[in-house]
C-alpha cells in the first residue's frame, strides 16, 4: 500500500485538543481534572438564538444551503460589519464558513503555493501553523515579547518580507496573549505593507467583542487603501458562546472571496441551515449580552491574575482582551516537582501540572513561544479559583 500524501506527515493535531483529550481521559479514570486547555465559553448560547434554530428546522429550512451562505445571514453579517468594524461590504462580499477555522483554511488554500512564506507574529494560535503546513507554505515567525506587550514591531515586519511572502496573519485581540492592537501599531503595519504590494493580510478578529483595555480597531478600517488585500474574519463562536454551531464569516476583496468559495465548495460546501438561522438571530438580536459577557470575562481575568501572583516562578503580562492568560514559566525551569518531575521546558511544566495538580493547560511551544503556558479563563469562577490554587500549590512545592 502506498504512503499517505506528504501534507499528512507535515500536519499535526493541535496541542489544545490533544491536552483536552488527555484531560477527558483522566476524568474518565475518576480524577478531578480542571481543564483550562480549550478556549471555549462556559456560558450558554442565548435562548433566542436556540429558538431561532428550532423554528427554522420546524419550518423546513433543512435543505442544502448556498455555498457562500444564505441571503439572510450574509445581509445580517454585512450590517454587523458596518456596525462593529465600520466597513460597508454588500452582502455578496461576505462568505460564511464552518467556523472561523474553515474561513482561514479557505483563505490560505486559495493563495498559498508550496514554498510561499506566511508571516505569523508570535505567540500565535496553533491552527495557523496547521493550515500553513497543510498548504505547503513556510511559516515565518515574527517574535513577540511580553516587554513589548506582544505587539508587532514594524521594522521587524519590514525586514521579514521577501519576494516569496504572500500572507501576513494578524490576530488581535490575540490568542494566547490577550494583546490588543492599538492604532499606532496598525498604522505602522499599513505603512510597511504599502511598500510591499504583493503581501495579503488575514485579520482574524474573532475576539473583537472581548476587550478589557483599549479599543477594537478593524485593520481594513484603519487602512482603507489596503482593503483590496485585507480579509477580515470573525464569527459567533466566542462572543455569543456558539462554538458547537460551527459558524464563522469574513469579508474582503471579491477575487479572494471567489477563490475561497471554490475551495469551500470543494471541501464542505455550505454551512448548516439551522446554524445560519441561529447566527442571524445572534447578530440581529439584543447585543447588550456582549457587554455583559465581556464584563464577566474581565472579572475572570482579574481573578486569575491575582491568584497567579501567589505562584512563585510565574509572571503574567496582563491580558487586554480575549479569554486567556499566558504566564511565563521561566522561573520554574531547572526545578523538580514534588513527585520528581524534572522541569526542563514548558512541555514538562504542562505535563506535571496535569499529572500532579490535575490542571490541564497548554504549553507555550504550541503557540510558537516556548517558556509559557496558556490558561483559558473562559471557565466558571470557582473552577478558575481552584485551578489557580492548585497551580500555586504546585509551584510552592518545587525544589
Same domain, 243 and 296: no
Same domain, 363 and 244: no
* Boundary residue ending a domain (284, 303, 323): 284
Same domain, 246 and 370: no
Task: For 31-57, write each residue's pLDDT tens digit.
Answer: 899 999 999 999 999 999 999 999 999
Task: For 267-323, write each residue's pLDDT tens digit.
Answer: 999 999 999 999 999 999 999 999 999 999 999 999 999 999 999 999 999 999 999
What is the reported pTM? 0.96
Q: Which pLDDT score, from 0 to 100, does residue 369 have?
A: 96
- Are the C-beta atoms of 292 and 282 separated by less than 8 Å? no
Same domain, 55 and 194: yes
CATH number of the domain that 304 lies in? 3.90.1150.10
**Which alpha helices (H) appear in 85-153, and where do they start and end?**
100-111, 126-135
Indicate whether 1 belongs to any domain.
Answer: no
Please, what's the b/e burial string for 218-256 (b: 16 or more CB within 10 A of its CB; e: otherwise)? Answer: bbbbbbeebbebbbbbbbbbbbbbbbebbbbbbbbbeeb
Q: Total structural domains in the chain?
A: 2
User: Residue 142: which H helix or E strand, with range?
Assistant: strand 138-142
* pLDDT at residue 2 tops 70: no
Of 31-40, 87-96, 113-122, minimum mean pLDDT range: 31-40
Q: Domain range holding 270? A: 47-284
* pLDDT at residue 1 tops 70: no
Same domain, 220 and 306: no
Same domain, 259 and 360: no
Same domain, 246 and 374: no
Pairwise CA distance, residues 111 & 169, whole Å: 13
- Average pLDDT for 186-192: 98
Cα distances (Å, whole numbers) of residue 336 to 56, 243, 308, 397: 57, 38, 19, 9
Indicate whether 208 belongs to any domain.
Answer: yes
- Average pLDDT for 146-170: 95
Q: Which pLDDT score, from 0 to 100, does residue 255 have?
A: 98
* pLDDT at residue 166 tops 60: yes
Same domain, 195 and 322: no
Amino acid at each position: 500500500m502506498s504512503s499517505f500524501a506528504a501534507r499528512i506527515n507535515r500536519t499535526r493535531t493541535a496541542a489544545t485538543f490533544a491536552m483536552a483529550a488527555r484531560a477527558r481521559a483522566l476524568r474518565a479514570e475518576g480524577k478531578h481534572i480542571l481543564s483550562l486547555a480549550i478556549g471555549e465559553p462556559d456560558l450558554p448560547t442565548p435562548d433566542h438564538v436556540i429558538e431561532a434554530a428550532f423554528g427554522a428546522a420546524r419550518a423546513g429550512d433543512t435543505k442544502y444551503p448556498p455555498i457562500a451562505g444564505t441571503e439572510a445571514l450574509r445581509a445580517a453579517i454585512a450590517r454587523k460589519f458596518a456596525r462593529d468594524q465600520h466597513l460597508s461590504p454588500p452582502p455578496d462580499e461576505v462568505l460564511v464558513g464552518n467556523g472561523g477555522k474553515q474561513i482561514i483554511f479557505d483563505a490560505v488554500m486559495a493563495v498559498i503555493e508550496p514554498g510561499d512564506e506566511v508571516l505569523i507574529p508570535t505567540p500565535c494560535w496553533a491552527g495557523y501553523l496547521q493550515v500553513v503546513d497543510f498548504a505547503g507554505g513556510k511559516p515565518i515567525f515574527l517574535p513577540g515579547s511580553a516587554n513589548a506587550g506582544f505587539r508587532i514591531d514594524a521594522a521587524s515586519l519590514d525586514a521579514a518580507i521577501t519576494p516569496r511572502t504572500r500572507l501576513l496573519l494578524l490576530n488581535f485581540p490575540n490568542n494566547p496573549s490577550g494583546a490588543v492592537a492599538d492604532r499606532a501599531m496598525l498604522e505602522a503595519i499599513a505603512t510597511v505593507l504599502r511598500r510591499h504590494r504583493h503581501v495579503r493580510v488575514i485579520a482574524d478578529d474573532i475576539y473583537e467583542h472581548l476587550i478589557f483595555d483599549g479599543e477594537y480597531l478593524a485593520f481594513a478600517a484603519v487602512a482603507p487603501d489596503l482593503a483590496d488585500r485585507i480579509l477580515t474574519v470573525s464569527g459567533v463562536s466566542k462572543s455569543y458562546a456558539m462554538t458547537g454551531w460551527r459558524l464563522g464569516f469574513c469579508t474582503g476583496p471579491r477575487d479572494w472571496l471567489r477563490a475561497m468559495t471554490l475551495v469551500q465548495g470543494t471541501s464542505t460546501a455550505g454551512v448548516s441551515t439551522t446554524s445560519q438561522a441561529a447566527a442571524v438571530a445572534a447578530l440581529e438580536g439584543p447585543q447588550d449580552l456582549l457587554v455583559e459577557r465581556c464584563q464577566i470575562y474581565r472579572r475572570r481575568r482579574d481573578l486569575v491574575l491575582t491568584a497567579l501572583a501567589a505562584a512563585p516562578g510565574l509572571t503574567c503580562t496582563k491580558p487586554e482582551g480575549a479569554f486567556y492568560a499566558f504566564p511565563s514559566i521561566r522561573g520554574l525551569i531547572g526545578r523538580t516537582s514534588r513527585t520528581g518531575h524534572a522541569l526542563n521546558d514548558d512541555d514538562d511544566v504542562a505535563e506535571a501540572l496535569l499529572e500532579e495538580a490535575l490542571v490541564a493547560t497548554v504549553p507555550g511551544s504550541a503557540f510558537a513561544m516556548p517558556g509559557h503556558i496558556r490558561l483559558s479563563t473562559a471557565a466558571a469562577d470557582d473552577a478558575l479559583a481552584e485551578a489557580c490554587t492548585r497551580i500555586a500549590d504546585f509551584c510552592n512545592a518545587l525544589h
